[in-house]
Amino acid sequence: MRLSRYFLPVLKETPAEAQIASHRLMLRSGMIKQSSAGIYSWLPLGFRVLRRVEAIVHEEQIRAGHIPMLMPTLQSADLWRESGRYDAYGPEMLRVRDRHDRDMLYGPTNEEMITDIFRSHVNSYKDLPLTLYHIQWKFRDEIRPRFGVMRGREFYMKDGYNFDIDRDGALHAYNRHMVSYLRTYERMGLQAIPMRADSGPIGGEDTHEFLVLADTGESEVFYDAAITELRLGDRQVNFDDRSECAAIVEEWTAPYARTDETHDAEAFARIPEARRRKSRGIEVGQIFYFGTKYSEPMGATVTNDKGEKVPVHMGSHGIGVSRLVGALIEANHDENGIIWPEGVTPFHCGIVNLRQGDGETDAACEKLYKTLVQKGLEPLYDDRTERAGAKFATMDLIGLPWRLTVGPRGLAAGKVELTCRRTGQSEDLTPADAVAKVAEIYAPHHAAAHWEPMANRSFHTWL
Ligand code: 5CA
The rounded distance, in Å, linking the Cα atoms of 346 and 68 is: 24
- Which positions ≥6 away from 153 have C-beta within 8 Å? 37, 38, 39, 139, 140, 141, 142, 145
Each residue's pLDDT, cut to its tens digit, for the chain (463 residues) gives 999 999 999 998 888 889 999 999 999 999 999 999 999 999 999 999 999 999 999 999 999 999 999 999 999 999 999 999 999 999 999 999 999 999 999 999 999 999 999 999 999 999 999 999 999 999 999 999 999 999 999 999 999 999 999 999 999 999 999 999 999 999 999 999 999 988 777 666 789 999 999 999 999 999 999 999 999 998 999 999 999 999 999 999 999 999 999 999 999 999 999 999 999 999 999 999 999 999 999 999 999 999 999 999 999 999 999 999 999 999 999 999 999 999 999 999 999 999 999 999 999 999 999 999 999 999 999 999 999 999 999 999 999 999 999 999 999 999 999 999 999 999 999 999 999 999 999 998 888 886 554 444 444 444 3
Say whether 412 sits in a helix, a strand or coil. helix
pTM of the model: 0.95
As a whole number of angstroms, the longest Cα–Cα distance in the chain is 81
Which residue type sits at 395? M
Q: Which of 248, 407, 397 lies closest to 337 in space, CA to CA? A: 397
Kindly give the number of the ligand 1 atom that is closest to the alpha carbon of 140.
Answer: 25
- Which residue's C-alpha comes closest to atom 23 of ligand 1? 151
- CB atoms closer than 10 angstroms to residue 19: 11
CA of 158, closest atom in ligand 1: 4
SS (H, E, C) 84-113: CHHHHCHHHCEEEECCCCCEEEECCCCHHH
The answer to whether the 21-337 and 347-446 domains have the same CATH topology is no
Which atom of ligand 1 has the smallest separation from the CA of 282? 18
In the chain, the amino acid numbered 425 is Q
Phi, psi of 78 (to 5 degrees): -55, -40
Q: How far apart are the C-alpha atoms of 416 and 361, rounded to whole Å? A: 10
Inter-residue contact 55 to 41 (CB < 8 Å)? no
Q: Which residues pair with 301 in a beta bridge?
A: 311
Instruction: Please tell me if the CB atom of residue 323 comes closer than 6 angstroms to any atom of ligand 1.
Output: yes
Torsion angle of the four alpha carbons 452, 456, 462, 463, in this order, in degrees rounded to the nearest 10: -60
Ligand 1, atom 20, residue with closest C-alpha: 320
- Name the residue of 113, 132, 156, 157 whose CB sits within 8 Å of the most ligand 1 atoms, as the mutation to test its pocket: 157
CA dist., res. 183 & res. 204, Å (int): 24
Residue 319 alpha carbon to ligand 1 centre in Å: 7
User: From the CB of 283, is ligand 1 less than 6 Å away?
Assistant: yes
Fold annotation for 347-446: Rossmann fold (3.40.50)
Q: Which atom of ligand 1 is nearest to the CA of 151?
A: 26
Nearest atom within ligand 1 for CA of residue 111: 1
Q: Compute the distance from residue 155 Cα to the ligand 1 centre, in Å.
A: 8
Which of 286, 289, 325, 330 should be mutated for ligand 1, with most atoms under 8 A from CB?
Answer: 286
Is residue 155 lining ligand 1, measured as CB closer than 6 Å?
yes
DSSP 3-state of 242: helix
Question: Which CATH superfamily, name and number, covers 21-337?
Answer: Bira Bifunctional Protein; Domain 2 (3.30.930.10)
Helices within 188-309 (DSSP H only)? 242-253, 265-269, 295-298
Q: Specify whether the CB–CB gap between 173 and 234 falls below 8 A.
A: no
**What are the strands of the beta sheet with 94-97, ordered from one edge?**
74-76, 103-106, 94-97
Whose CA is closest to atom 17 on ligand 1? 320
The alpha carbon of 324 and the centre of ligand 1 are apart by a number of angstroms equal to 11
* Spans of all domains in the chain: 21-337, 347-446
Instruction: Give the count of beta carbons closer than 10 Å to the beta carbon of residue 454.
Output: 8
Which bin fits 376, alpha (ψ -120 to 50), beta or left (φ > 0)? left
100 Cα–ligand 1 center, Å: 31
Which atom of ligand 1 lies at the shortest distance from residue 319's CA?
Answer: 13
Take atom 11 of ligand 1 and give the residue whose Cα is closest: 318
DSSP 3-state assignment of 230? coil
* Spatial CB neighbours of 227, under 8 Å, sequence gap ≥ 6: 193, 252, 255, 256, 257
Residue 285 CB less than 6 A away from ligand 1:
yes
H-helix or E-strand containing 319?
strand 313-320
